[in-house]
Amino acid sequence: MRKFFLFFVFIVSVTAAFAQEERVEELINRGIAYHDAKEYDKAIELYREALRLDPYSAEAMYELSLSLLEIQDYVAAIEYCDKLIDRDDKYAILSYNTKGSCLNYQGRTSEAIDVFLKGIKKEDSFYLLYFNLGLAYYANENYQQAKDAFVNALDLNPQHAGSHLNLGRTMWSLDRRIESLLSLYYFLLIEPNTDRSEWAYHALQEQFLKNGLSKSQFGAADVLYSTYLSAEGSDNESEMDLFIRNTDAFFSVLNEINLRKNPRGENVWWSFYTDFFKELSSLKYTEVFCHYISLSVSDLEEEWLKRNNDQVRGFAIWLRQQ
């Protein structure tokens, strides 16, 4: 009889544990949904409830730290990050990233850099650590280190829009126009219609007006491109026509100049950007590309894309093959 009673207690305990685990998982999933909907206070409430049921839930702590970051409660977010880092489980690397971001947003960029570097030392294949390291270096005006960090992020995730954008911004700060244009053009391909896209588009236009630069590793291309650029269109030329003409000139320069591989191995400029845009140009997709990446600045571009569906379809098929 006693054995049966103990077995019954064991079954009840296990059942209760499973029920609590399912409840914690449910709360976390609901919290994530609220976080994704930018209802961070509701998400935080659910994560805290999950932690009351299971104070050791690493997932609840991590998701809570992300929502606390979004409401700018950096001190509390860092507390949870430190707990996860001390546990050294699968959430530790993610928490290095969150903690470093909190420090960076507080203006404690040197401390943020140290945290990102510690995370990279433990796990060097997480692209967001390099990306946020680049942001911290940029905030400290360490542009060369920022450039290296963004290049490393893109080596790990070539389609990360933020890394392309900030690499372009960094190269602009370094007075390296050709590299900046390459990065910004590619960013706009990935993200053509956001507030960030509008900034990138205007940054392209502003760089069209610059004279040739001597700092670029594309020095000869930069000088040649300057001879092709036009600050103003002809009487019958629209702003879009001018943009297409300047872009076509840029891609033509990439085709004309005898580029060499970068001896330091930064293939993002050569094997990635340059080869991609040279092929795009050779296939006569420059026009549709320019209309597509201008969606953030003109409502007319969506209409143009609809009217030229065949070109858009061909361009989309080619992109999927890359």
When pLDDT is averaged across residues 230-235 and rounded to a whole number, the result is 56
- Residue 132 resides in a domain: no
Higher pLDDT, 230 or 146: 146
Residue of 86, 46, 89, 52 whose CA lies nearest to 66: 46
Q: How confident is the model over 48-71, as pLDDT tens digits?
A: 999 999 999 999 999 999 999 999
Could you tell me what percent of the chain has a pLDDT over 90?
Answer: 64
At 138 the pLDDT is 97
State the Cα torsion 38-40-41-44 to the nearest 10°: 150
Q: Which tokens hold the place of 51?
A: 């932690």
- Residue 319 resides in a domain: yes
Q: How many domains does the chain have?
A: 1
| 65 contacts 38 by C-beta, under 8 angstroms | no
Q: How confident is the model over 148-181, as pLDDT tens digits?
A: 999 999 999 999 999 999 999 999 999 888 899 9
CA contacts within 13 A on the Cβ side of 65: 26
At 58 the pLDDT is 93
Which three-class secondary structure state does DSSP give residue 213? coil
In angstroms, rounded to a whole number, what is the distance separating the alpha carbons of residues 322 and 315? Answer: 11
- Residue 124 resides in a domain: no
- Residue 182 resides in a domain: yes
Higher pLDDT, 222 or 202: 202
Element (H, E) at 177: helix 177-190
Higher pLDDT, 24 or 287: 287
- Residue 277 resides in a domain: yes
- Residue 152 resides in a domain: no
Q: What is the pTM of this model?
A: 0.86
Contacts of 38 (CB under 8 A, 6+ apart): 70
At 3 the pLDDT is 52
Residue found under tokens 């600050």? 231
- Residue 201 resides in a domain: yes
Q: How confident is the model over 256-284, as pLDDT tens digits?
A: 665 554 444 567 887 899 889 999 999 99
- Residue 142 resides in a domain: no
Taking residue 40's Cβ as centre, other Cβ atoms within 10 Å add up to 19
| 168 contacts 147 by C-beta, under 8 angstroms | no
Could you tell me what percent of the chain has a pLDDT over 70?
Answer: 82
Residue 230 structural domain: 173-322
Inform me whether the pLDDT recorded for 240 exceeds 70. yes
